[in-house]
Amino acid sequence: MSPFEDANNLKYKCNDCNTTIDNVNSVISESFYKYDFIENTDLSIKANRIYDNSMKRSKKYTCPNDDCNNSWKNETIITCEHNTLQHIYMCCSCLTEWKYS
């Protein structure tokens, strides 16, 4: 069934038998997108990110994890959150991720 407009009324038409049905809903279709970068990132993917030279890096930020030994040259990987473009920082030593608000 595909929607079409007929005399300012929304209707559905069957592509096989040409039967038309009036639309009773105000919503035709919905799409829901949910993606949370930190929660949906697998640990193995995070671990391999430290070897990716295309990632943005910095030595200005210190890891908030008190147990971190900063063995990976004090480097932090900087990525962006998809919805808000807020920076997400990841320690290359202990793989801890954090944000500044």
Q: Per residue in 8-23, pLDDT tens? A: 778 888 888 988 888 8
Query: What are the residue ranges spanned by the domains of the chain?
Result: 43-98
Tokens of 32: 């829901």
Q: How far apart are CA 11 and CA 18, in angstroms?
A: 12
Q: How far apart are CA 73 and CA 95, in angstroms?
A: 13
The yes-or-no verdict on residue 36 having pLDDT over 70 is: no
- DSSP 8-class letter at 49: H
Tokens of 89: 């920082």
Dump pLDDT digits (tens) for 79-95: 887 777 889 999 999 99
The predicted structure's pLDDT at residue 6: 79
State which fold the 43-98 domain adopts.
N-terminal domain of TfIIb (2.20.25)
Give ∠ CA 69-70-71 in degrees, rounded to 5.
90
